Amino acid sequence: MEVLSVNNLKVDFTNGDSIFTAVNGISFSIASGKTLGIVGESGSGKSVTSLTLMQLLPSSKGTHINGRALFNPKNGGQVDLIALSEEDIRKYRGSDMAMIFQEPMTSLNPVFTCGNQVAEAIKLHQKVSSKEARLKTIELFKKVKLPRPEQMFDAYPHQLSGGQKQRVMIAMAISCNPKVLIADEPTTALDVTVQASILDLLKELQQETGMAMIFITHDLGVISKIADEVIVMYKGNIVEQGQTKLVLENPLHPYTKGLLSCRPSSNINLKKLPTVTDFMKINEDGTFSETGITITQLRNELLLTEEDRSRQKIKIESQENILSVKDLVVSFPTSKNIFGKVTSSFTAVDHLSFNVRKGETLGVVGESGCGKTSLGRAILRLIDATSGEVNFEGNNILKYSEKEMRLLRKKMQLVFQDPYSSLNPRLKIVEAITEPMVVHSIGANKEERIHLTEQLLKKVGLTSDAMYKYPHQFSGGQRQRICIARALSVQPTFLICDESVSALDVSVQAQVLNLLNELKEENNLTYIFISHDLSVVRYMSDTMIVMKNGKIEEMGEARAVYEDPRSAYTRNLLSSIPH
């Protein structure tokens, strides 16, 4: 039975004389007990669609919504969600329709306990006492498989992991047994094992309650695991829709083909990742034309042969070690006595030893909390190591003075995970990139540094026009390119990329990964590539380290670790990847 039917939905945003159409006359329906996947890149209109259905778009004169969204609530009858007043939509929002947002940390109030926030939602829609709301919340925490539900009720959001916070959000969303649950990118920032458990949980809850679900993501692997039907959106339009299995096995639209091909493959080794532009040429007026190339043709063209792989392996093995880590320990104090002496500590990196050769990419993979980011920061001396050695070009840099480290930072750079927070919003791009040049005395004068900036932006695929713009004027992928240009501005030989593509759409991710590999060859760079995504690490890396609880669980050639893992932990990580 159809529970929601959307007809010719159109959402326009006006700013002065300009009109931006975010959603362009789309139609779809969903039945009870079924999951509709909406997939597309940032800016495709998928989140605007869900926010429109919930009437959560900012109310302003510049927002214009047309079309109908016919919904069958629990109490019978039918209502048009678009036509409802603010007062009337509140009767259905939270009780008949619920939503899980992408980032649970910003969705939960940091000053209230997790339990109180869920109990508040229950009391808002159900006539129950505080005591009954508490008991219902604890039962919900059990249902979403949170450990120690009674203690979790009194815990604050910052005391929970990302996966646990997302389970709290799911508990809040299902607290009133909604007929429709909208999940907007609920697993994007999560480890593969946590992501798999959240997807299994949502399917289990759906089977139990019979609710309809709209699942929004840019990851077609996730869609294949959870959705019955799928809609592919591009620039506000539905370009393809149908049964998930049929769409994924036989995509008709070039955009869908591009999205399917961008993701690093688990069983095909490629020299370069395909991108959307390989399948569709985007014209200046925003229209596109199909290139006519098939996924199979393109992959055959880009195939990495055994000869290529052998040549690369011999080249790396002939190089000396640029980095040698010996028995490295990083601990953080967890409690101190009244005299300030540490009485207990947490070991994030536990006696790690490994080498990295010049020109090699070492992939470091593991779940959140395994110590991979602490390892990267300790190598760069951004946090203090407790003991051990970090030998860079033959010298133990843990013994370097602050002045010596400042000089060394020209050679060692870091590309951060979040391109939004790693650029100063008040600095123009030219200032952000030339600032480290000034610190390290690169370029004879301002004009030369501006010229170098222009060359760097060109190298990362941006025009010189970008120099005099601010970070907010760029997309996520463009900002990450700017961050890479800034890291290269001091002419380093060694780069640590810490989750540098995890927040990007799959097509943008493919572009950035290709760029990193091109820059590696051009500039003879050495990488440590940190990620929780094993498919990305396999594609990027020559050697792979799998970390668990601060220790090395498994280490070896990336392809060998991926294809024949010896550790049960590695096998579990690999089995959690949605294909």
Q: What is the pLDDT of residue 105?
A: 66
Residue 277 lies in a domain: yes
Confidence of residue 286 (pLDDT cuts 50, 70, 90): low
What is each CA distance from 502 to 222, 258, 508, 536, 546, in whole angstroms?
Answer: 15, 19, 10, 9, 17
Do 522 and 342 contact (CB within 8 A), yes or no? Answer: no
Residue 404's domain comprises 319-409+495-579
Say if residue 189's pLDDT is above 70. no
Q: Quick one: 417 and 278 in the same domain? A: no
Percent of the chain that is helix, strand, coil (3-state, to 5)? 40, 25, 35
Q: Quick one: 355 and 434 in the same domain? A: no
Q: Quick one: 501 and 464 in the same domain? A: no
For 395-478, where are the E strands, in sequence order?
395-396, 412-415
For 119-225, where are the E strands, in sequence order?
180-184, 212-217
Residue 127 lies in a domain: no
Residue 176 lies in a domain: no
What is each CA distance from 571 to 244, 564, 565, 568, 577, in whole angstroms?
Answer: 27, 9, 6, 5, 10
Q: Quick one: 485 and 513 in the same domain? A: no
What is each CA distance from 91 to 32, 48, 87, 330, in whole angstroms?
Answer: 20, 21, 7, 52
Domain end point (choices 464, 491, 518): 491
Residue 146 lies in a domain: no
Q: Which residues pair with 324 in a beta bridge?
A: 355, 391
Q: Quick one: 446 and 476 in the same domain? A: yes
What average pLDDT does the segment 472-500 reach?
89
Phi-psi region of 145 (alpha: psi -120 to 50; beta: other; left: phi over 0): left
Residue 392 lies in a domain: yes
Say if residue 168's pLDDT is above 70. yes
Q: What is the pLDDT of residue 76?
A: 83
pTM of the model: 0.84
Q: Report the DSSP pairing between strands 97-100 and 180-184.
A: parallel
> Quick check: helix, strand or coil at residue 44?
coil
How confident is the model over 205-244, as pLDDT tens digits? 899 889 999 999 888 888 999 999 999 999 899 999 999 9
Q: Quick one: 504 and 428 in the same domain? A: no
Q: Quick one: 453 and 476 in the same domain? A: yes
Domain end point (choices 440, 463, 491): 491
Specify the residue for token string 């006492």: 129
How confident is the model over 316-363, as pLDDT tens digits? 999 999 999 999 999 988 888 888 788 888 899 999 999 999 999 999
Phi-psi region of 107 (alpha: psi -120 to 50; beta: other; left: phi over 0): alpha
Q: Quick one: 558 and 417 in the same domain? A: no
Q: What is the pLDDT of residue 139?
A: 92
Tell me the torsion sign for CA atoms 351, 538, 476, 446: positive
Confidence of residue 375 (pLDDT cuts 50, 70, 90): very high
Residue 435 lies in a domain: yes
Q: What is the pLDDT of residue 532?
A: 82
| Least reliable range by pLDDT among 45-59, 79-93, 109-123, 280-294 | 280-294
Q: Which residues pair with 24 in a beta bridge?
A: 10
Q: Quick one: 430 and 532 in the same domain? A: no
Say if residue 382's pLDDT is above 90. yes
How far apart CA 290 and CA 316 sit, in angstroms, is 39
Structure tokens at 144: 């979403």
CATH code (residue 375):
3.40.50.300
How far apart CA 240 and CA 277 sit, in angstroms, is 17
How confident is the model over 239-259, as pLDDT tens digits? 999 999 999 999 999 999 999
Q: What is the pLDDT of residue 145?
A: 84
Q: What is the pLDDT of residue 38?
A: 95
| 114-120: long-range pairs with CB below 8 Å, 24+ | 114/152, 114/153, 114/155, 114/156, 114/157, 114/160, 114/165, 114/168, 115/141, 115/152, 115/153, 115/154, 115/155, 116/153, 117/168, 117/172, 118/168, 118/171, 118/172, 118/175
Do 3 and 71 contact (CB within 8 A), yes or no? Answer: yes
Confidence of residue 186 (pLDDT cuts 50, 70, 90): confident
Residue 295 lies in a domain: yes
Q: What is the pLDDT of residue 473?
A: 86
Q: What is the pLDDT of residue 58?
A: 79
> Helix count (H) and strand count (E) of the chain?
22, 22
Domain end point (choices 491, 518, 539): 491
DSSP structure class, residue 526: E
Q: Quick one: 439 and 564 in the same domain? A: no
State the chain's mean pLDDT as an integer: 89
Q: Quick one: 431 and 282 in the same domain? A: no
How far apart CA 310 and CA 6 sit, in angstroms, is 54
Do 363 and 544 contact (CB within 8 A), yes or no? Answer: yes
Say if residue 68's pLDDT is above 90. yes
Residue 282 lies in a domain: yes
Domain count, the chain: 3
Q: Quick one: 370 and 510 in the same domain? A: yes
